[in-house]
Amino acid sequence: MTQRSADLLLLTVIAARGTSYLLAKIGLGGIPPLELLAVRFFLTTLILCLIFHKRLGQMTKGLLKAAAGLGAFLFACMACEIISLTMIASSTAAFLENTSSLWVLLLAAIACRRWPQKHIIAAAVLLIIGIALLTLHGSRLNLAPGELICLAGSVFYAFWILFTARLARQHDPLLLGIVQMGFLALYSAVSTAVFETPLVPTDGTTWGAILALVFICSVFGFTFQPVAQKYTTAEKAGLFTAFNPLIASCLGFLFLGETFSTAQLAGAAAIIVGLVLAAKKGTAA
């Protein structure tokens, strides 16, 4: 696979994830958050194992260990995202979580023991301003619990991107993506048993949202991101996430009636400008 093809696949994969906020918001109407994750990723793992069952024989202890670690970071991210969606609008969650694109660049700079470049610092300032305006409540600038949880998820997602970039080059990336889905299902199921009272969805709307999450966002999305990242960079994977909030905001406006105040709209714009600034300079660097 060429880098251009990998970039196109990565962009498509991340765009598909932009639909997850709307679909999760709909699904939460009929099932608790952690159980939604458990059902979604159990079905995802089952489907992937049926399709790619021949690859399972190539599994090694090293790959199993890598998948368990990636699955832990991804579960932390997804748990924060789904819980925050019970408290805040899907569009707000999308903007906050996708600040991960900048965290990737900052963490990469720290890992290389170098001071972040000027454009990264400028982008960070824009994101801080944007987050402050986006989380404006009345006349108060503060982060509500749901917004804090969502930001925590963005940090976990940044770590997942960075570790995926490293481990996808050491193992079969497709098999790595499949096995991490299995661990994600396991972690979600255990958390459901500990923290929630499971429910069986009885309406078609909830099941429709769950199945869309399975096929669009999981089977295609998370599974093929390691494949794409084998042929491109972690920084680019983080930068492409700038498209997510735009997609999620449009879907939230069209289907959930979500709107921004003037201050929140300015905050969203500041976040987009910051992400684009980091993306343009980061790609050229």
Residue-wise DSSP of the chain = --HHHHHHHHHHHHHHHTTHHHHHHHHTTTS-HHHHHHHHHHHHHHHHHHHSGGGGGG--HHHHHHHHHHHHHHHHHHHHHHHHTTTS-HHHHHHHHTTHHHHHHHHHHHHTT-PPPHHHHHHHHHHHHHHHHHTEETTEE---HHHHHHHHHHHHHHHHHHHHHHHTTTS-HHHHHHHHHHHHHHHHHHHHHHH-------SHHHHHHHHHIIIIIIIIIIHHHHHHHTTS-HHHHHHHTTHHHHHHHHHHHHHS-----HHHHHHHHHHHHHHHHHHHHHHH-
Mean pLDDT highest for which of 79-83, 93-97, 160-164, 265-269? 79-83
Residue 106 — very low, low, confident or very high, per pLDDT cuts 50/70/90? confident
Which pLDDT belongs to residue 234?
A: 62
Residue 260 CA to residue 133 CA, distance in Å, equals: 11
Provide, rounded to the nearest whole percent, the portion of the chain with pLDDT above 90. 34
Q: Which two tokens stand for residue 149?
A: 């949880």
Residue 4 — very low, low, confident or very high, per pLDDT cuts 50/70/90? confident
Which pLDDT belongs to residue 138?
A: 53
- 71 exposed, middle or buried (CB, 10 Å; 0-12, 13-18, 19+)? buried
Q: What pTM was estimated for this model as a whole?
A: 0.81
Higher pLDDT: 269 or 153? It is: 153
Residue 270 — very low, low, confident or very high, per pLDDT cuts 50/70/90? confident
Q: 257 Cβ partners below 8 Å, 6+ apart?
A: none
The mean per-residue pLDDT over the stretch 71-84 comes to 95
* Measured torsion, CA atoms of residues 224, 229, 235, 240, in degrees rounded to the nearest 10: -30
Which pLDDT belongs to residue 140?
A: 57
Residue 28 CA to residue 34 CA, distance in Å, equals: 10
pLDDT at 284 over 60: no
Higher pLDDT: 209 or 137? It is: 209
pLDDT at 283 over 50: no
